[in-house]
Amino acid sequence: MLNLTIGSNDQPISLQIDTGSSDLWVINANNSWCSETSQGKGLYSTEKGNLDSGDFEDESYDEDHDCSLYGTFDPTDSDTWRATPGSFSTIYGDRTGANGSWGQDTVTIQGVEIKDVYIAQSDEADEIFGVLGIGYRNNEATNFTTATESAFTYDNLPITMKNQGLIYKNTYSIYLDEASDIDSAILLFGAIDHDKYTGDLGLLPIATNSIELDVFLNGIYMSDGDSNVTIATGSVRTLLDTGTSLTLLPSDVLEAILDQIGASTSNDDSGLALYTAKCSSLKDQTFTFDFMGYELTVPVSGFVTEKSGKTCTLGFRSSDGLGIDYVFGDSFLSNVYFVADLDDNEIAIGVANTESTTEDLEAISDIIPSATQAPEYSSTQDASGLKLETGSITISVHKAVKSSGAVANVKPNLANSLICSIVLMASLVLLI
């Protein structure tokens, strides 16, 4: 969560950072979902018609929805709030969403003001916190027409920061550290931290015409230290999404991975599948993900989201029926460091330095520093999907990239640039 304040009276708000969406929306103080009692309503119906139309279904719940935990916004208390035309409606892959209206106000992050930021204030939602979407302009909720309103786009928060001279480019970098504990995660607007990765950064193009952070995945391999096993190969768009906690894969690919790990399947209280394994069995196992010829090797143990005694819960879920096959959420992203350049449509990615204790910051004023194009950067990808390897064929044709631990000592160039280092649920450090 990112801590900031909104309005002339600095109303404190904590927002979920989401690379898979593009709107900043907050919970209005009068949101129907918020209550100090055990009643709440505002859940999106699971009927497809209602999902498409944005209608809400009235339901009651035996739980508290205390929106004060993350803060609510009252536009009537801000002298700088300016309502703008248009209604707001958004829905996410987990069928949560929000409705409301638009306006502009000042957003303040650690004393630095960003003026005239487009903000949606939600008076109907089924979450107790809002979202800071930092994706493409074309993925803004306003860009999707409704029966009564025309589509339009606007300058979201990162673009506004660039326009006001706070950062050189619409870029940011993300370091999540651990899937089971994102309290130490760091987001940098307009900068890179060379101490947060090991080895080389691979530079990938964002898929043409994509409105999200889609890159091409060409293979998944596993190793137990003695042999390498091919799980699947081919070409498929893969979404890098901090707004998704788990890594979503088609069931056949997921089952092949679970078989290789030796994982067991059970269900949680809500009926969703849980995948567990003996923690000791994960010690020597690794994944290698092939992104356009750039091979990134990370430990299977890095996908653990919870430990209970000697049992580890793995951060995977089937994507069947969701409308998108490959979503690499926090359980994957916690193993990597990645930099998004939305001006030049590129992603730089590398193995996270989980032992980082310092900073080596550099403002991004041109290309992403210290990143090398993937071997197949310029190749045409057919995005036909990954083909599952059949049988128990052990191969050694791919070369797993090992982390060297060597990071170029690049001196930061911070002149005329605002670098926002966001420690989740803690303080925000700004270097100007």
- Look at residue 232 and give its three-state secondary structure: strand
Yes or no: say if 114 and 108 are a contact pair by the CB < 8 Å rule. yes
- Whether 241 sits among the annotated catalytic residues: the reply is yes
Which of these, 96, 136, 101, 109, lies nearest to 26 by C-alpha position?
101
Q: What DSSP character marks residue 416?
A: T
Yes or no: say if 187 and 167 are a contact pair by the CB < 8 Å rule. no
Distance CA 432, CA 420 (A): 9
- For residue 234 the two structure tokens come to 């081919």
Yes or no: say if 408 and 319 are a contact pair by the CB < 8 Å rule. no
Q: What DSSP character marks residue 178?
A: B
- Look at residue 141 and give its three-state secondary structure: helix
* H or E element at residue 229: strand 228-240
Neighbours of 365 (CB within 10 A): 16
Distance CA 78, CA 157 (A): 19
Q: How many helices (H) and strands (E) does the chain have?
A: 4, 32
Which of these, 203, 201, 204, 202, lies nearest to 408 by C-alpha position?
201
Distance CA 251, CA 319 (A): 7
- Whether 382 sits among the annotated catalytic residues: the reply is no
Catalytic residue among 105, 177, 214, 241: 241
* H or E element at residue 106: strand 97-109
Which of these, 423, 422, 426, 420, lies nearest to 162 by C-alpha position?
420
**Chain centre distance of CA 189:** 14
Strands annotated E in 246-374: 247-249, 264-267, 273-278, 286-291, 294-299, 304-308, 311-314, 316-318, 327-328, 336-341, 346-352, 361-363, 371-373
Residue 132 forms beta bridges with which residues? 17, 24
Distance CA 191, CA 53 (A): 39
Which residues are known to be catalytic?
18, 241
